[in-house]
């Protein structure tokens, strides 16, 4: 017990120079999060089907890309928007691919994968809280906390995919109703937060829900008019979402460095 | 625990949102959006059917390579339409999807067999026609 505390202190001292590695939760955060969900999914689809890499090769390529991006993200001393969001997009893809592999490749029932990933997510939080005594996303300042954070993010994507697919197969939920229902659930969660519900709980519930919302939104925009969609097609929708993400991330980067400059100048005095 | 109470309140609000609008008609709201099983069908599959008919004609003429190229159009268009078609009838969607996979397997074999290709494409048409218009 004592040695664990001491090594924890050591770890914290060694990384005392590390700032919070994840972004503050703003409207921009949620917009980028929802859009990166869609882009991640359509990007992987495009590689597998249109470019013809096939599922297994695409899975391998995306996993390799995620590992590389995660290394870059973990090595940074502070939140660097493009590293963080690139990692989110890739976790989105890989999380989706894991669920798809279980469903299509191993014929695992969506009921089972939804339950299993739900349990995995709760277990991640339980272990995280047991080790760190806090689940606050405003103090992801050690590698260990950040590891828990990304494990949770991965499970939210896998769970969001499984739950969303289950709603499609089990409830025959189409994308029009999907946008309404998942949007409403997120709105209710936000309302709960503003009326005092636990910040950590509402954040992660909303985070899980953005996966099926992002998928339904992407479908609503890309599917043909004959099917009730806007008819933009996958490529235009993905390009548009990607552009918005890049613009918002660039804006966040500029804002971030602008905020840091006065702080650094003040620190020098 | 305050957060638990809030979670329950949020859940109640969500439930009311889903159930409420249907209260005066005596039916839950979801009733209106989940199609009755008897009416489930994949709808108009003619664009996909057309590709299969083309591919079958190519196989009949002995152009297996042409049929393989043509069936690729089915792969992309079927995958793209999945979010629209599957919710209409997941069970029937899977039946057609499996038939499509079997057709691909015969056409993409290293040494495609004309009879097997013809059979799988015929089965695929049957599956599509079975899904469409069933009551």
Helix (H, G, I), strand (E, B) or coil at A259: helix
Containing structural domain, residue A157 = 25-257
Q: Among B2, B34, B81, select the one facing A172 at the smallest CB separation.
A: B34
Mean pLDDT of all residues belonging to chain B: 79
- pLDDT grade, residue B74 (50/70/90)? very high
Q: What is the pLDDT of residues A11-65, one digit of tens each?
A: 554 455 678 889 989 999 999 999 988 887 777 777 777 777 778 888 999 999 9
Alpha-carbon distance A86 to nearest alpha carbon in chain B (angstroms): 25
> Which of A102, A121, A104, A122 has its CA nearest to residue A112?
A102
Task: Report if residue A81 sits inside a domain.
Answer: yes
* Per-residue pLDDT, B7: 57
ipTM rounded to 2 decimals: 0.80
pLDDT in tens, A175-190: 999 999 999 999 999 9
Q: What is the 3-state secondary structure (H, E, C) of B52-100?
A: HHHHHHHHHCCCHHHHHHHHHHHHHHHHHHHHHHHHHCHHHHHHHHHHH
pTM: 0.79
Per the domain annotation, does A92 fall within a domain?
yes
How many domains in chain A?
1
Identify the contact set of chain A against chain B, taking CB-CB distances under 8 A: 45, 49-50, 168-175, 177, 181, 184-185, 188-189, 191-192, 195-198, 201, 215, 219, 222-224, 227-229, 234
Q: Cα separation of A229 and B23, whole Å?
A: 29
* pLDDT confidence of residue B35: 42
Residue A110 located in a structural domain: yes
Which pLDDT score, from 0 to 100, does residue A104 have? 86
Asked if the structure places residue A180 within a domain, the reply is: yes
Judged against a pLDDT cut of 80, whether residue A268 lies above it is answered with no
Mean pLDDT lowest among A171-180, A259-268, B29-38: B29-38
**How crowded is residue A78: how many other Cβ atoms within 10 Å of its Cβ?**
12
The answer to whether residue A11 sits within a structural domain is no
Q: Which residues in chain A are closer than 8 Å to B6, comparing Cβ atoms?
A: 192, 195-198
Q: Let me know if residue A47 belongs to a domain.
A: yes
Residue A186 and residue A202 in contact, taking contact as beta carbons nearer than 8 Å: no
Mean pLDDT (whole number) for B94-110:
93
Tell me, yes or no, whether A9 lies in a domain: no
Residue A3 lies in a domain: no
């Amino acid at each position: 017990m004592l040695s664990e505390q001491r090594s924890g202190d050591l770890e914290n001292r060694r990384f005392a120079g590390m700032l919070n590695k994840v972004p503050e939760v703003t409207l921009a955060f949620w917009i980028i999060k929802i859009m990166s969900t869609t882009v991640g999914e359509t990007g992987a689809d495009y590689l597998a089907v249109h470019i013809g890499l096939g599922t297994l090769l695409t899975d391998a390529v995306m996993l390799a890309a995620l590992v590389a991006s995660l290394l870059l993200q973990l090595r940074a001393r502070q939140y660097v928007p493009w590293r963080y969001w690139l990692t989110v997009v890739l976790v989105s893809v890989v999380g989706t691919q894991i669920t798809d592999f279980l469903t299509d490749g191993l014929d695992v029932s969506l009921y089972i994968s939804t339950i299993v990933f739900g349990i995995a997510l709760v277990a991640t939080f339980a272990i995280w809280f047991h080790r760190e005594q806090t689940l606050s996303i405003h103090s992801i300042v050690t590698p260990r906390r950040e590891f828990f954070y990304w494990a949770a993010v991965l499970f939210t994507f896998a769970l969001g995919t499984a739950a969303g697919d289950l709603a499609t197969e089990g409830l025959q939920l189409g994308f029009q109703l999907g946008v309404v229902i998942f949007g409403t659930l997120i709105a209710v969660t936000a309302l709960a937060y503003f009326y005092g519900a636990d910040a950590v709980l509402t954040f992660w519930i909303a985070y899980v829900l953005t996966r099926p919302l992002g998928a339904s939104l992407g479908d609503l925009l890309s599917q043909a008019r004959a099917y009730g969609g806007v008819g933009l097609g996958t490529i235009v929708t993905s390009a548009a979402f990607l552009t918005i993400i890049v613009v918002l991330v660039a804006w966040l980067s500029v804002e971030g460095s602008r905020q840091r400059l006065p702080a650094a100048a003040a620190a020098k005095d | 625990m305050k957060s638990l109470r809030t979670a329950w309140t949020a859940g109640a609000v969500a439930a009311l949102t889903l159930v409420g609008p249907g209260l005066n008609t005596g039916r839950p709201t979801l009733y209106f959006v989940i199609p009755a099983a008897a009416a489930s069908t994949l709808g108009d599959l003619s664009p996909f059917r057309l590709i299969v008919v083309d591919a079958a004609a190519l196989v009949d003429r002995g152009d297996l390579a042409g049929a393989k190229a043509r069936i690729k159009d089915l792969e992309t268009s079927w995958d793209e339409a999945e979010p629209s078609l599957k919710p209409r009838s997941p069970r029937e969607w899977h039946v057609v999807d499996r038939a499509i996979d079997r057709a691909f397997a015969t056409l993409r074999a290293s040494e495609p067999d004309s009879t097997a290709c013809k059979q799988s494409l015929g089965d695929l048409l049957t599956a599509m026609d079975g899904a469409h218009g069933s009551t």
